[in-house]
Structure 1
Amino acid sequence: MVLWLAVGSVVLFSLFLWKYPTFFRDARIGFINYKVRLGVDLIQLIKGNFTLVDQWEITAAKYEDRPCIVYEGETLTFKQVEGRCNQYAHWALDHGFIKGDVIALFLPNSPDFFAIWMGLAKVGVESAFLNNNIRGASLLHGIKTCKARAVIVSQDLLEHLGPLQDDLQNLLVSTFTITGDTPNSIKPETRSQCAPPVIFRKNVTYQSPLYYIFTSGTTGLPKAAIMKHKKSMWVGYGYAALFRFTKEDRLYITLPQYHSAATTVGFGIMITSGCAIVLRRKFSATRFWKDVVEQDVTVFQYVGELCRYLCNTPTSPFQQQHKLRLAFGNGLRPDVWDIFRERFKIPQIGEFYASTEGNVIFVNRHNVRHSVGFAPCVLPFLHCARIIRYNIETDEVYTDANGYCQEAAPDEVGLLIGKMSNRYPFDGYVGDRSITNKKILRNVFSTGDSWFNTGDLFKEDRYRNMFFMDRIGDTFRWKGENVATTEVAQAISSFQQVEEVNAYGVQVPGHDGRAGMVALVCRSSTLDLEALYQHICVRLPAYARPLFIRIQEIIETTGTFKHIKTILSREGFDPSKIKSPLYFCDPSLGNYVPLDNVLYDKIVRGQIKL
């Protein structure tokens, strides 16, 4: 028996090394990066006396004459950025802000965005990052939710606060602009660049809130996720180590700084590794490769739709002159992945999975196609994620006779959850505790345990590679089958006349589940419906083929390019409410036909068999 166990162990170990040949090398390099290159004082960190501000000050002092942020042709050194951070810290002190106060930032991408929240953190003041695309009630909701005492706004966004002034005065919220000649202009250049005394953040620990980031708000009003020093540090350390960032790297960021992808991950890597950030105010597909080449970019950070936009651009003379070693990010769809990698000759794609508030992170360190990373089978107690069986039709998890959840089998799509613990906390949202509780599953595998509900459907293969499948709510059920919107969008997006696809489900009177519908942006004014129908039939099973098509000029997205589906799903397929062209898949003709009021009435009355 012992001999067979030994032989089996050797075989399993050999298979593991065959699948992941660089595992131990990466682990060693990661340890060196973590302990030495990042300059972390482990004793202080364990004791809880070390914060992201401390790490920033160490890095800024160590690399003071090296480039820190490159923005609009100007290069700022770490020393210059640190000086600007201190100026904002002194501004906060001069205006009476103290530890625990919250200031909302309503700003576009710029070096000042980073300098403001880091400067505020130096004196214990917390920042709330407002999505600079929101307006009206959503904007006011964000300010009220985080109980901000002030809003710092750029001059070009100031007009959007105007309609809210009466409400802000009732909330005793002051408005400040970075530039301008108004009495409330901050004018940081008039203040000292010396660091404020550490006494102002004496009681700030790595468990203290650092800033608040609002979820994308694809359903309902955005929620303010609490980001603590601890999580921000570990994210920065982890990604810097796994992707081997050094001070020689130049990281290109076009994602909005109000989101965790750019700030927590991107700037977190800069803070912990000393690399330079090449920052743009917003993403430009036409300028992208020129910037990458001219700025000697070695790494860029993406979200999936950004890569798709690049794949749809004409050939650029710069696109293969780059010095990129890595593109990393999340949400890169399988249908775009291979095209993106081959066309632009990207050596490594570092797809990862994470959410702003969540406690589950996967990182594809080994360039496995279409995977977000893998769940280690060695020391599984160090990994908190599990996939459990999930009934999409009833929106409930499957349970056994004892009421406990069941783990999904390999290649079975299920709900991804993360065990909550001191090692893997879920800090929740600001405000109503019930909002936080909705994201927690209890008594999952044993009485009293608590797990974070990611709301994402996953599967893992036999090698424990993890694959994102869809969001709960995006996946719907039709004809007794589960339909993944990502699968539908992937199939249709390969049709040459289609530029962009947003897939979702709509309710049809008299039918269970939801029927498939897609909103399309076309490359020209004409769409060959018959060719599209044939294209769909080859690539999708009958139950997954969209019954309805809606043509749009643009597809509405969040600030991080996520498709907004809820409004489209609610509007349905009623031609009296939708002015853009609509089409219906007529089963008798085997083609898509224009959907008018007469045909709509027949569908609603059940006179046409679907």
Structure 2
Amino acid sequence: MEPDGRTVAELVAARWGDHRPGLWCEDDVLTHHQFAVGAAARAALLADLLPPGVPPHIGVLLDNTPEFPLWLAGAALAGAAAAGINPTRRGPELARDILHTECRILVTEPAQLPLLRGLDLPGVRLLTTGTQEYDDLLAPYAHARPDPSRATPSDRLLLYFTSGSTGTPKAAICTQGRLTAAGRSLAGQFGVTPDDVHYVCMPMFHGNAVIADWAPALAAGAGVALRRRFSASGFLADVRRYRATYFTYVGRAIQYVLATEPGPHDRDHRLRLGFGTEAGVVDAAAFERRFGVRLVEGYGSSEGGAAVQWSPGTPAGAVGRAGPGLVVLDQRTRAECPPAHFDAAGRLLNGDEAIGELVNRAPNPFEGYWRNPEAEAERRRRGSPAHGGPSRSSEAESGGGWYWTGDLFCRDAEGYLYFAGRTDDRLRVDGENLAAAMIENILARYEGADAVAVYAVPDPVTGDQVMAAIAGDFEPGSFAEFLLAQPDLGTKMAPRFVRVVERMPVTATNKIHRARLRSEGLRCADPVWCRPTAELAYRRLAPGDAEGPLAPTRGPV
């Protein structure tokens, strides 16, 4: 039976008395009841440890172990907030994340202690799981019962950092009410029942694992199986072991699973659905062919300001139909972009005018960033009268403070949205605006490519040139033939430069680290191939060539 309640605390308390197995991690198994007991003990401990008069924030520096969701649930019962701390951060950056979110308690484990050596963390109390001191600290609260009465829907529960691939991570706020609503929505959308098991292999310090995987399981009373850290080689074995039915993914995770050795029993499992972002059309189709599992590619900003849901009938390459309030706006004029037009081969014909930033003009659940008014203002940009936007007097009526996603899209005449990349992924080549994501979707078909990233490098005259990083096998002749055979490759889209990498650089959440690729440009240790003329003939770039710009390529390929 689906638990009632408007807060995460109420969902946790509803599991009291449910003695079905509900949480798995390696050899550890907790029933739903034991989970509720553990959460209540941690909530009672927090009530005694958190000092009065300060934000009730705790930091969680853990792998995906049972302690992570136990502390999330405990924080919910205590009316506190948990900040997921990224263990791939180091030194002053790691200290900055802990201190910025004003964590009074930091929950960690012995394996993470070396990361904290030498850090100045004034006022932060350390709790180290898996130690006798920790067990002794919790022991007096072993008989606590979950009391959800202290929590309200407006209580902060999560402070989760953006991936940090484009700058200093921002701590997005998520309240108990928003997380509960998101969990219920996804559970309803995907028909999650108490008999399901959600496999959580993405890191729980990131919003994807908590909002899209743990929350719907909690809302439906389903089980949760944890993987300490994502492992492509261990994916299928885990799915079978825990009898998992649902999982989430981000970034390159699907590509890594597909790169494992195929076997005759790849479809021997209970998995029915994967939900995530950035798998791409080619890999999603390959995953379904091999494992018999449908991947649902959704779009949702981490901060909750905009979301697009896939539905039956969505055209290939589209994310879904635009809901009420979602529009694609020209970033300069703030006017709505005209519909996108595609030819019979799927080539976007009017990208220069059709691609813009996705904006949500409707009321939305974006709850801001912790102590970062500048970042909030960027998300809540208002129309500009100087560029055709609404006047100040009409801002309230016309949607002043709309949510600007920072993502590029185009929208066809039927209202379907096509992802075109981040706003800093736009390329302007020979006077034409191009979208990195659309070029990537084409290059992903290249047989030798395990992963592809497209980004801009400066043109020596004006604008940009297209550069691609390819992980996998690259042969210049076959790649040139491949490009010529792609009917939807526009005349400006063929990469001028190709960087061949052994492994694509990624962030802690498996998203391609585009900022690093852009900053390194041609000056990198990897082999770089270029085409000096408009002809599709690639040659190896000599080290000295990177010191001075090559002549720009003009005209069609």
Partner residue, 2:345: none
- Which residue matches 1:135? 90
Offset at 1:78? 0.4
| Per-residue deviation, residues 410-439 of structure 1 (Å, max 9, x unmatched) | 553332111353xx2321111131221011
Count of aligned positions: 528
Equivalence for 1:88: 42
CA separation of 1:126 and 1:187: change in aligned 2, threshold 3 A: farther
Give the conservation status (yes or no) of the 8 Å contact 1:91–1:186: no
- Counterpart residue number, 1:406: 336
Where in structure 2 are the equivalents of 1:469-508 lying within 5 Å?
A: 469-508=420-459
Which of 539, 553, 562 does residue 502 from structure 2 map onto?
Answer: 553
Instruction: Using the TM superposition, give the Cα deviation of residue 119 of structure 1 relative to its aligned residue in structure 2, in angstroms.
Output: 0.9
Secondary structure in structure 2 of the residue aligned to 1:300 = strand
* Cα 1:375–1:498 shift into 2, 3 Å: closer
Residue number in structure 2 paired with 1:256:
203
Q: In structure 1, which of residues 24, 29, 38 is the aligned counterpart of residue 2 of structure 2? A: 38
Mapped contact 1:89–1:196 kept (Cα < 8 A): no
Aligned partner of 2:411 in structure 1 is: 460
Question: Residue 332 of structure 2 aligns to which amino acid in structure 1?
Answer: V
Task: Confirm whether residue 71 of structure 1 aligns to residue 15 of structure 2.
Answer: no
Pick closer, same or farther for the CA change 1:197–1:69 going to 2, 3 Å: closer
Structure 1 segment 360-375 matched on structure 2, within 5 A = 360-366=306-312, 368=314, 369-375=316-322
Question: Matches of 1:330 and 1:215 in 2, distance apart?
Answer: 15
SS at match of 1:267: helix
Contact 1:303-1:331 within 8 A present in 2 as well: yes
Give the alignment of 1:63-462 within 5 angstroms.
64-97=18-51, 100-164=55-119, 167-169=120-122, 172-181=123-132, 185=134, 187=136, 190-195=139-144, 198=147, 202=150, 204-346=151-293, 348-366=294-312, 368=314, 369-375=316-322, 383-388=324-329, 390=330, 396-399=331-334, 405-406=335-336, 408-409=338-339, 412-419=354-361, 421=363, 424-443=364-383, 446-448=394-396, 449-462=400-413
- Is 1:563 the counterpart of 2:512? The answer is yes
Q: Kindly tell me: are residues 588 and 430 of structure 1, through their superposed partners in 2, closer, same or farther at Cα, counting changes over 3 Å?
A: closer
Measure how far apart 1:386 and its partner are: 2.1
Partner of 1:54: 10
- Indicate how the Cα distance of structure 1 residues 118 and 148 shifts in structure 2: closer, same or farther if over 3 A, else same: same
Confirm or deny: 8 A CA contact 1:90 1:196 kept in the other structure.
no
Q: Equivalent residue for 1:595?
A: 541
Q: Is the 8 A contact 2:212 2:248 kept in 1?
A: no
Quickly say closer, same or farther: Cα 1:191–1:519, change in 2 above 3 A: farther
Question: How much has 1:370 moved relative to structure 2?
Answer: 3.9
Of the structure 1 ranges 112-121 and 93-102, higher mean CA displacement relative to structure 2 is found in: 93-102
SS in 1 for 2:531: strand
The amino acid of 1:40's aligned partner reads D
Report percent identity of matched pairs.
Answer: 25
Q: Which has the larger radius of gyration?
A: 1
- The answer on whether the counterparts of 2:4 and 2:11 sit within 8 Å (CA) in structure 1 is yes
CA distance in 2, matches of 1:566, 1:483: 18
Amino acid at match of 1:415: E
CA distance 1:197–1:328, shift in 2 (3 Å)? closer
Equivalent position amino acid for 1:72 in 2: E
Instruction: Indicate the SS of the match to 1:282.
Output: coil
Mapping 1:509-520, distance limit 5 Å: 509=460, 511-520=461-470
Flag structure 2 segments of 5+ consecutive residues without an equivalent: 342-353, 384-388
CA distances 1:306-325 after superposition (whole Å, capped 9, x unpaired) = 22222222212331122233
Please state how far the C-alpha of 1:97 moved relative to its aligned partner.
Answer: 4.2
Distance in 1 separating the partners of 2:46 and 2:442: 52
Q: Does the residue aligned with 1:100 lie in a helix, a strand or coil? A: coil
CA distance change for structure 1 residues 250 and 93 in 2, over 3 Å: closer, same or farther? same
SS at match of 1:61: coil
Label 1:329 to 1:602 Cα distance change in 2 as closer, same or farther (>3 A).
Answer: closer
2:478 aligned with 1:543: no
- The answer to whether the Cα contact below 8 Å between 1:351 and 1:373 also exists between their aligned partners in 2 is no
For residues 83 and 140 of structure 2, the distance between their equivalents in structure 1, rounded to whole angstroms, comes to 23
Q: Distance between the aligned counterparts of 1:588 and 1:350, measured in 2?
A: 39
Amino acid at match of 1:436: E
Superposed displacement of residue 331, structure 1: 2.3
Larger mean CA deviation between 306-315 and 584-593 belongs to 584-593
Structure 2 counterpart of 1:88, one-letter code: R
Quote the Cα distance in structure 2 between the aligned partners of 1:187 and 1:362. Answer: 47
Matched residues in 1 for 2:380 and 2:95: separation?
Answer: 27
1:350 and 1:314, CA in 2 relative to 1: closer, same or farther beyond 3 A? same
Deviates more, 1:225-234 or 1:115-124: 115-124
> 2: CA distance between counterparts of 1:197 and 1:496?
54
Contact 1:350 1:367 in 2 (8 A): no
Contact 2:382-2:402 at 8 Å conserved across structures: yes
Distance 2:185 2:20 in 1: 23
Hey, what does 1:11 align to over in structure 2?
Answer: none
Secondary structure of residue in 2 paired with 1:84:
helix
Q: 1:318 to 1:190 in 2, by over 3 A?
A: farther
Distance 1:360 1:560 in 2: 20
Cα contact 2:45–2:138 (8 A) shared by 1:
no
Q: Please report how far the alpha carbon of residue 365 of structure 1 lies from its aligned counterpart in structure 2 after TM superposition.
A: 4.2
Name 1:34's counterpart in structure 2: none
Asked if 2 retains the 8 angstrom alpha-carbon contact of 1:517 and 1:548, the reply is: yes
- CA RMSD in angstroms comes to 2.5
Q: Deviations over 1:41-85 (max 9, x none)?
A: 5xxxxxxxx421112212x136x1112111103321101111111
- Asked if structure 2 preserves the Cα contact closer than 8 Å seen for 1:250 and 1:277, the reply is yes
| DSSP 3-state at the match of 2:118 | helix
Q: Relative to structure 1, is the Cα distance of residues 495 and 114 closer, same or farther in structure 2, using a 3 angstrom cutoff?
A: same
Query: Secondary structure of the equivalent of 1:397?
Result: coil
Question: Secondary structure of 1:483's match?
Answer: strand
